[in-house]
Amino acid sequence: MIVIKDIAKSFGDVKAVRGVSFKAEDGKITTLLGANGSGKTTTFRSVTGLMKPDAGTVHIDTIDVRERTLEAQARLGVFPDQFGLYTRLTTREHIAYYAELHGLKGSALSDAINEVSKLLNLEDIIDRKTEGFSQGQRMKVALARAIVHKPQNIILDEPTRGLDVMNIRLLRDILLELKAQGHCILLSSHVMAEVDALSDHIVIMSDGLICADGTSASLVAESGQENLEEAFVHLTEQARRNAA
């Protein structure tokens, strides 16, 4: 479980995040939804311990990220918006490196690599260098690195960016399986169809604030609109008008 309470972060005169609070629960998919500059990335960096908020707290499974950063990070699997693969390494070497960072070694390391390889259908590329990989193949390697140590909490920043339909469906199925296993999944996305299909809880951000949250159905009902996309536009525009 990830609990964010009243976090705030400024960069000079720019207030990137202002008193953001929400909870991402185990066995559910929580989605941060917002336009560029809404504060999603700053919130994610605060959750992962890459950035310290000016105020507020983040807890990963009751562990305070500020006070026990490395212990909290060990409970996380992070799927970044840029995959950052080393082209001279094979898929196996990528996964092994990240697994070793999380303390896996010997037979436990081998078993973890084999398990994640089967889950993501990596057998045909497991011993290939990643240079020249397709976007879908790169996605699967990055996801394997994030979950090889079986973290309770998984964070994905724009995970479907650049993927084709088949790989989007594969990723969706994997996330639903991880959810069914009881993992806490926190993601950001601009793809309304994916947000609508996957999310148990949607948190809409605008100008560093949470302007609405709930299920897709409750947000549509609250806004009086016909679908999630129209609800998102209506609620964010309403928040900007109220702030003016």
Mean pLDDT computed over 223-243: 90
Query: Tokens 């309770």, residue?
Result: 152
On the question of pLDDT at 82 being above 80, the answer is no
pLDDT averaged over every residue in the chain: 91
DSSP 200: S
Q: What's the N-to-C CA distance of the chain in angstroms?
A: 35
One-letter identity of residue 29: I
One-letter identity of residue 239: A
Per-residue pLDDT tens digits for 5-34: 999 999 999 999 999 999 999 999 999 998
Paired with 22 in beta bridges are: 4
In whole angstroms, give the CA distance from residue 184 to residue 24: 7
User: What's the pLDDT band for 81 if we cut at 50, 70, 90?
Assistant: low
In whole angstroms, give the CA distance from residue 47 to residue 147: 17
Q: Is the pTM of this model over 0.85?
A: yes
Strands (E) located in the chain: 2-11, 14-24, 29-33, 55-60, 63-64, 76-79, 153-157, 184-188, 201-206, 209-214
